[in-house]
Structure 1
Amino acid sequence: MSGWEFMICLGFLGAACVRVANELGSGNAKAVKFSIKVVLTTSVLIGLFFFILCLVFGHKIGYLFTSNDEVADTVSNFSTLLAFTMLFNSIQPVLTGVAVGAGLQGMVAIVNLCCYYLIGIPIGVLLGYVAHLEVKGIWIGMICGVVTQTLVLSFITWRTDWDEQVNKASERLDRWFLKLEEESNQSSNNA
């Protein structure tokens, strides 16, 4: 993934996380669902734009970085993989941000570890070294990890009861406010 496209997706991750957390904190489950739809749709459209761009101009992408025909041909062989990488790496950060914003950081960490270390890397090693696809095989393995992560996070987002998440967020806020009030009362009593 190119650096600037990565930064755009990282921005969407942060935006999704903050927006979901803010809406949960304000007690508005309907706004959470709407925010998820908006940021996911925007990210998918951007991902599709770059996906199509990589497929259409895949044979010319290498010439942006070199004038060597052999290097450009090698890069063009990877343009389909680059296209799928762009697409799924535009969706996955948004879903990660949604889950983190909902307070599911632990689940996201487990999904990340399982998808990359139990699925992506083993498939990449098998395709790269056993099937002798080399770099292409390793890249396909990593795409498999990202696709799996995207599917799992999509399922988690789809199955989440956002009204229940609003209640959980409200309970967490109440606990924090009670602790802060107790601490401020203790500090004023000690003074």
Structure 2
Amino acid sequence: MNTRHATHLLVVDDDAALRMMLRGVLELSDYRVSEADSRDAALRALAEANDIAVVVLDLGLPPHAHEISEGIATLQAIQDAILPVKVIVLTGQDQEAAALAAIREGAFDFLAKPASADAILRAVRRAELFLQKERELGAQGITRIAINAQISDGLKGVRVDAEERLVRQILKETGFNVNQSAKRLGVKRENIYYFLKKFGIERDA
């Protein structure tokens, strides 16, 4: 296997046997695989390896392995950090409720356990393709943002949420460079400082 240019994946599951099985399937298809068994371990792995492209996430994680809450919290943390990864959710829990919650929190794909090796590989390849296309759009100056909109909050609330997420994403993409961020957003430097104060954004956020 040539790992130098292989896509880096993270498998998050508290079942060591299942992690080993998934790792074997993925490595046989020339992917580089890291593992985590909890939310903290997953977020630590993502912080330490900035080249992880796809996360395969089991929703049933400790300390609530028989519920979806901890997996959803992990998904929320990944989305809040605006990480350039696609999350494929796996669950053996209430599939309808799990699918709805996962989609609401920005999951790229949803697979019910037990998922076949072919189904997992197809989902990973779809995620890779989407990431590639998003990078091509980024090279054209187009940034894709995802927000959850509560329609009852009205258009103003949706606009503010979209504005904040866009500002945070551009700052992250430019390494918090105010000049580059202002140029990308088509505003003055002073506007960036206004946004920082308005949204309470700090460099380490």
TM-score, normalised relative to structure 2: 0.27
Identify which of structures 1 and 2 has the higher relative contact order when contacts are C-alpha pairs closer than 8 Å and 6+ apart.
Answer: 1
Q: Which has the larger radius of gyration?
A: 1
More strand by share: 2
TM-score using structure 1 length? 0.28
